[in-house]
């Protein structure tokens, strides 16, 4: 009966609304809910400008419903606030959000209050709730002072929106914190939270389970948080930190007012900033800690974390996820459990070395471990194993000098390093004897098959691989050149490249994507072999991507000859460039062969042609994303060839990597990298402009001065150029003034145009080619504002060299 009445009421309201088109109608786009209204079923409240919407939602495949606020106008349902995080309802038509006793209250199917704003309020019919265009839900009473009784911005969930304060209210003693969801299907408070440190340090921290801090923003110094230097380069957000006796908070705004941006405390344990790209996706362009494995206990007990592969977490050999469901939802915190329990009583009796069932340890190599329980000084390392065996609660041991480290109970925070990092240590984890099978009784198990080869299928797979290797080995002993694939690329075998590079002995250099080694092919061609790091793509996708890169051929681009893709190994084989990379010639020892002005000008022009080809002449436009002297290679005639193109796409647009290189020094990166907007070819134009100044000056764009501060040469160079100063004074002293003044002026002006903040003001690569060729003229450019910002912030910035940034 009541149902019927409700439906009748709703119908009447609906018809009334249609008829009157008034804005009091919940469910028809009204932004206000009055005391006589409710939100139930699929009804929603929509903010006045149509930006946000409030109503019941169901996260992922869960069957639970929650009251939440999400962006109305984007394709991907993105929830920014949840009312009943911990108490879902199952029937949204029988549940209702309404104003009751002056509060906003959520009633479940049985009309029981499961969530309320809980403010002292008179039961007044003038109380109403408004959803604002900034995402704030406000409970107001016009006849009351103050009018605002409650607002959702004071009670954030996991999202921090522009305009909302995140901090500590000293009068109500309430600390606003962002708390992650448990997983993508459960908005209940998870393990990670971000909050203001209330001990007066004026810094924010991320906590694990409300207590253990694993990241801090550093103190506010009036302009930026000290550990977040990239804030200093940001032109797209206004940040403000306020502290007084009443409250301390941090607030931010998006300058253009229409870019959708948000910070979230992610289920990954990282704080992330994202912006909505017009192409229908969230772009996560800032995250801390930058590496997933920097989040404590992320993979749970007996899990192992790897930053260079997906999924980040795996169970150790002999273990399986405690809950496969949560594991599939990327919630790894539950960790892993043994497939077979260690049976101490019986197994410790097995002392015979040849007994198959003797309890053993699996050896994990190149691991970072933490928090051993005990350190025991022993005479020999053999003692470690038996010591661990004797104590049933010992789960693992590691050798350490003449002693051993012992772990008791759960093993946490193990990190697996990749092949090219060799700083790891070895850990021995105890397994039940039966985990090792009974076929190998002669030698200790040496495998580090960490959860990748799980189950008995793994045994079969390994066997098959062995068979294949045994069968194929003799044939390919020395011949193995490889097979032709799409286009002109050669697929090499790993062993062949290993031979060709003399087991990767002659390192030519390294970059963001991996180390490069010199090699010689069978036909005596000298090549450069790049070992890619962190390629998260599958074999097929990798080959597709590579064959695209293989079709790109231009006299000013380094030619890709072939590749290798075996298991997790991904290598690229390029033409070898005898004169190495440009940086050594520009910034190296100045005594020997200085690049003449003529050569520099030619290099700049040809580089521009190579990039023009990449941007505009290929079938798919390729943005290089990493233009710098290290990636410009010189052949025997000093003809420049741009290297490393296409790789940014190959390894995914890894913004955290961009950020690590950006820390403290703007370098070659355009300001839009830090703003979260879409990256266009104009980002390469910016980097090219910075490089032009380096051609002129023969010095790096940023150099630490004696007091450790950064001097950003382009700022000075731009002001000299624009103010009509003496551009000769910018010239590399080792050129001794030998430069064509007209060319020099042209280069400086183009450079200034290239480094404009507004990318639409920057010329295209095609225009740059024409200017450098002298076909079109170049006017005096305006001064790029960001450089001024940089100059202003300069005194607050600490210099982080390449070496310190590449470690993290």
Ligand X SMILES: *[C@@H]1O[C@H](CO)[C@@H](O)[C@H](O)[C@H]1NC(C)=O
Annotated binding-site members for ATP? 530
Host H or E run for residue 659:
helix 655-662
Least spacing, CB of residue 251 vs ligand X, in Å:
12
Nearer to ligand X, 49 or 774 (CB): 49
CB 574 within 8 A of CB 527: yes
Q: How many CB atoms lie within 10 A of CB 583?
A: 16
Nearest to 690 by CA among 708, 664, 716: 716
Binding flag, residue 346, ligand X (CB under 6 A): yes
Nearer to ligand X, 133 or 363 (CB): 133
Least spacing, CB of residue 246 vs ligand X, in Å:
4
Nearest to 171 by CA among 250, 245, 249, 251: 245
Least spacing, CB of residue 591 vs ligand X, in Å:
44
CB 713 within 8 A of CB 721: no
Binding flag, residue 245, ligand X (CB under 6 A): yes
Dihedral of the CA atoms 72, 74, 78, 79 (nearest 10)?
Answer: -10
Distance, CA of 263 to CA of 622 (rounded, Å): 30
**Which residue's CB atom is positioned nearest to ligand X?**
401
Nearer to ligand X, 35 or 461 (CB): 35
Nearer to ligand X, 202 or 531 (CB): 202
Hey, which residues does 39 pair with through a beta bridge?
97
What's the distance, CA 792 to chain centroid? 28
Distance, CA of 56 to CA of 103 (rounded, Å): 18
Classify residue 11 as exposed, middle or buried by CB count within 10 Å of its CB (0-12, 13-18, 19+): exposed
Binding flag, residue 116, ligand X (CB under 6 A): no
Pick from 14, 375, 463, 472: which binds ligand X (CB under 6 A)?
375
Distance, CA of 227 to CA of 659 (rounded, Å): 12
- Point out which span in 86-94, 240-248, 736-744, 764-772 binds ligand X (CB under 6 A): 240-248
Binding flag, residue 760, ligand X (CB under 6 A): no
Nearer to ligand X, 375 or 472 (CB): 375
- Omega within 30 of 0 (cis) for the link into 311: yes
Terminal-to-terminal C-alpha distance of the chain: 65
Distance, CA of 696 to CA of 166 (rounded, Å): 46
Binding flag, residue 239, ligand X (CB under 6 A): no
The number of residues making up the chain comes to 808
Please tell me the count of residues contacting ligand X according to CB under 6 A: 28
Distance, CA of 100 to CA of 120 (rounded, Å): 12
Whether residue 307 lies in the annotated active site? no
Classify residue 475 as exposed, middle or buried by CB count within 10 Å of its CB (0-12, 13-18, 19+): exposed
- Point out which span in 400-408, 416-424, 624-632, 708-716 binds ligand X (CB under 6 A): 400-408
- Contacts (CB under 6 A) with ligand X, residues 251-280: 256-257
Question: Whose structure tokens read 């607050």?
Answer: 796
| Binding mask of the shown chain, residues 196 to 225, with x at each position contacting ligand X by CB under 6 A | -------------x----------------
In the structure encoding, which two tokens stand for residue 755, read together?
Answer: 């480094």
Least spacing, CB of residue 536 vs ligand X, in Å:
19
Binding flag, residue 93, ligand X (CB under 6 A): no
Classify residue 317 as exposed, middle or buried by CB count within 10 Å of its CB (0-12, 13-18, 19+): buried
Binding flag, residue 716, ligand X (CB under 6 A): no
- Contacts (CB under 6 A) with ligand X, residues 22-81: 24, 34, 36, 49-50, 60-61, 73
Binding flag, residue 742, ligand X (CB under 6 A): no
Least spacing, CB of residue 110 vs ligand X, in Å:
25
Distance, CA of 455 to CA of 458 (rounded, Å): 6
Hey, which residues does 750 pair with through a beta bridge?
none
Binding flag, residue 408, ligand X (CB under 6 A): yes
Question: Which of 31, 197, 331, 626 is labelled catalytic?
Answer: 626
Distance, CA of 188 to CA of 177 (rounded, Å): 14
- Point out which span in 239-247, 579-587, 607-615, 643-651 binds ligand X (CB under 6 A): 239-247
In the structure encoding, which two tokens stand for residue 562, read together?
Answer: 């072939």
Distance, CA of 16 to CA of 20 (rounded, Å): 6
Classify residue 498 as exposed, middle or buried by CB count within 10 Å of its CB (0-12, 13-18, 19+): middle
- Point out which span in 243-251, 309-317, 435-443, 617-625 binds ligand X (CB under 6 A): 243-251
- Point out which span in 232-240, 302-310, 338-346, 659-667 binds ligand X (CB under 6 A): 338-346
What's the distance, CA 260 to chain centroid? 19
Nearer to ligand X, 348 or 499 (CB): 348
Nearer to ligand X, 78 or 579 (CB): 78
| Binding mask of the shown chain, residues 470 to 509, with x at each position contacting ligand X by CB under 6 A | ----------------------------------------
SS3 category, 701 = coil
Nearer to ligand X, 307 or 331 (CB): 331
CB 687 within 8 A of CB 611: no
Binding flag, residue 426, ligand X (CB under 6 A): no
SS3 category, 685 = helix
Question: Whose structure tokens read 């229409």?
Answer: 258
Pick from 145, 244, 456, 478: which binds ligand X (CB under 6 A)?
244
CB 357 within 8 A of CB 372: no
The pairing of strands 483-484 and 425-431 is unpaired
CB 607 within 8 A of CB 632: yes
Question: Whose structure tokens read 């009796």?
Answer: 349
- Point out which span in 217-225, 242-250, 521-529, 565-573 binds ligand X (CB under 6 A): 242-250
Binding flag, residue 386, ligand X (CB under 6 A): no
Nearer to ligand X, 423 or 592 (CB): 423
Binding flag, residue 409, ligand X (CB under 6 A): no
Please give the annotated binding residues, written as ranges: 530
Binding flag, residue 719, ligand X (CB under 6 A): no
Pick from 240, 340, 393, 525: which binds ligand X (CB under 6 A)?
393
Q: Where are the alpha helices (DSSP H) in 473-524?
A: 494-500
What's the distance, CA 493 to chain centroid? 31
| Binding mask of the shown chain, residues 120 to 159, with x at each position contacting ligand X by CB under 6 A | x----x----------------------------------
Pick from 100, 113, 116, 170: which binds ligand X (CB under 6 A)?
170
- Point out which span in 80-88, 340-348, 521-529, 603-611 binds ligand X (CB under 6 A): 340-348
Pick from 146, 401, 567, 724: which binds ligand X (CB under 6 A)?
401
Distance, CA of 205 to CA of 197 (rounded, Å): 6
Pick from 2, 345, 637, 777: which binds ligand X (CB under 6 A)?
345
Binding flag, residue 400, ligand X (CB under 6 A): yes
DSSP 8-state code for residue 256: T
Nearest to 755 by CA among 661, 683, 681, 664: 683
Pick from 246, 522, 568, 705: which binds ligand X (CB under 6 A)?
246
- Point out which span in 88-96, 341-349, 458-466, 504-512 binds ligand X (CB under 6 A): 341-349
Nearer to ligand X, 132 or 721 (CB): 132
Nearer to ligand X, 246 or 541 (CB): 246
Least spacing, CB of residue 349 vs ligand X, in Å:
8
Catalogue the active-site residues: 626
Contacting residues toward ligand X, per CB under 6 A: 13, 24, 34, 36, 49-50, 60-61, 73, 120, 125, 170, 209, 244-246, 256-257, 343, 345-346, 374-375, 391, 393, 400-401, 408
């Amino acid at each position: 009966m009541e149902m019927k009445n409700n439906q009748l009421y709703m119908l009447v309201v609906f018809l009334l609304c249609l008829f009157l088109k008034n804005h009091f109608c919940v469910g028809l786009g009204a932004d206000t809910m009055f005391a006589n209204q409710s939100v139930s079923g699929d009804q929603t409240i929509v903010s006045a400008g149509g930006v946000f919407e409030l109503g019941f939602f169901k996260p992922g495949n869960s069957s639970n419903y929650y009251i939440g606020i999400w962006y109305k106008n984007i394709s991907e349902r993105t929830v920014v606030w949840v009312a009943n995080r911990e108490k879902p309802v199952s029937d949204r038509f029988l549940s209702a959000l309404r104003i009751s006793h002056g509060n906003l209250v959520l009633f479940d199917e049985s009309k029981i209050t499961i969530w309320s704003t809980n403010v002292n309020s008179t039961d007044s019919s003038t109380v109403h709730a408004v959803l604002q265009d900034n995402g704030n839900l406000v409970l107001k009473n016009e006849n009351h002072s103050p009018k605002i009784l409650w607002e959702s911005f004071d009670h954030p969930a996991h999202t921090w929106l522009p305009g909302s304060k995140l901090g500590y209210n000293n009068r109500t003693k309430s600390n606003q914190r962002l708390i992650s969801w448990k997983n993508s299907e459960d908005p209940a408070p998870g393990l990670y939270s971000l909050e203001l440190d209330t001990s007066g340090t004026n810094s924010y921290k991320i906590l694990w389970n409300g207590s253990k801090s694993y990241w801090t923003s550093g103190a506010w110094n009036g302009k930026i948080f000290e550990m977040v230097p990239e804030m200093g380069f940001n032109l797209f957000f206004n940040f403000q930190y306020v502290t007084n006796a009443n409250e301390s908070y941090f607030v931010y705004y998006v300058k253009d007012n229409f870019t959708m941006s948000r910070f979230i405390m992610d289920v990954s344990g990282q704080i992330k900033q994202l912006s909505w790209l017009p192409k229908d996706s969230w772009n996560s362009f800032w995250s801390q800690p930058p590496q997933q494995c920097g989040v404590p206990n992320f993979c749970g007990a007996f899990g192992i974390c790897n930053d260079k592969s997906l999924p980040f977490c795996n169970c150790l050999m002999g273990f399986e996820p405690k809950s496969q469901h949560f594991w599939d939802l990327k919630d790894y915190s539950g960790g892993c459990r043994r497939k077979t329990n260690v049976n101490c009583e019986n197994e410790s009796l097995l002392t015979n070395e040849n007994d198959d069932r003797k309890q053993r340890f699996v050896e994990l190599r190149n691991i970072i471990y933490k928090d051993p329980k005990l350190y025991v000084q022993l005479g020999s390392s053999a003692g470690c194993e038996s010591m661990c065996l004797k104590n049933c609660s010992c789960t693992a041991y590691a050798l350490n000098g003449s002693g051993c480290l012992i772990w008791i109970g759960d093993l946490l925070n193990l990190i697996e390093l990749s092949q090219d990092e060799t700083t790891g240590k070895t850990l021995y984890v105890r397994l039940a004897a039966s985990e090792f099978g009974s076929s190998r009784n002669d030698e200790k198990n040496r495998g580090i098959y960490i959860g990748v080869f799980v189950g008995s299928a793994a045994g079969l797979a390994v066997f098959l691989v062995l068979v294949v290797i045994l069968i194929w080995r003799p044939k390919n002993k020395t011949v193995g050149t490889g097979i032709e694939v799409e286009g002109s690329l050669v697929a090499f075998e790993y062993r062949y490249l290993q031979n060709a590079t003399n087991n990767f002995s002659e390192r030519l250099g390294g970059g963001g994507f991996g180390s490069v080694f010199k090699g010689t092919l069978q036909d005596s061609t000298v090549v450069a072999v790049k070992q890619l790091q962190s390629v998260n793509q599958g074999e097929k996708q990798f080959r597709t991507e590579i064959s695209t890169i293989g079709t790109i051929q231009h006299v000013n681009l380094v030619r890709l000859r072939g590749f290798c893709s075996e298991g997790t190994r991904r290598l690229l084989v390029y033409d070898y460039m005898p004169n190495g990379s440009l940086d050594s010639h520009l910034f190296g020892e100045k005594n020997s062969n200085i690049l003449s002005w003529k050569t520099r000008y030619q290099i700049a022009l040809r580089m521009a042609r190579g990039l023009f080809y990449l941007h505009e002449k290929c079938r798919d436009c390729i943005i290089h994303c990493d233009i710098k002297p290290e990636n410009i290679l010189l052949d025997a005639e000093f003809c420049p060839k741009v290297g490393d193109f296409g790789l940014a796409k190959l390894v995914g647009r890894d913004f955290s990597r961009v950020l690590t290189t950006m820390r403290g020094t703007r370098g070659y990166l355009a300001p839009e990298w830090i703003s979260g907007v879409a990256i266009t070819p104009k980002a390469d134009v910016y980097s090219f402009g910075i490089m032009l100044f380096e051609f002129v000056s023969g010095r790096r764009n940023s150099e630490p001065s004696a007091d450790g501060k950064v001097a950003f040469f382009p700022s000075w160079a731009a002001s000299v150029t624009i103010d009509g100063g003496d551009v000769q004074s910018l010239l590399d002293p080792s050129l001794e003034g030998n430069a064509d003044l007209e060319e020099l002026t042209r280069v400086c002006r183009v450079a200034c145009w290239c480094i404009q903040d507004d990318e639409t003001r920057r010329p295209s690569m095609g225009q740059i080619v024409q200017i450098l060729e002298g076909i079109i003229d170049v006017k005096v450019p305006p001064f790029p504002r960001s450089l001024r910002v940089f100059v202003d912030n300069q005194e607050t910035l600490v210099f982080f060299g390449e070496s310190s940034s590449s470690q993290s």
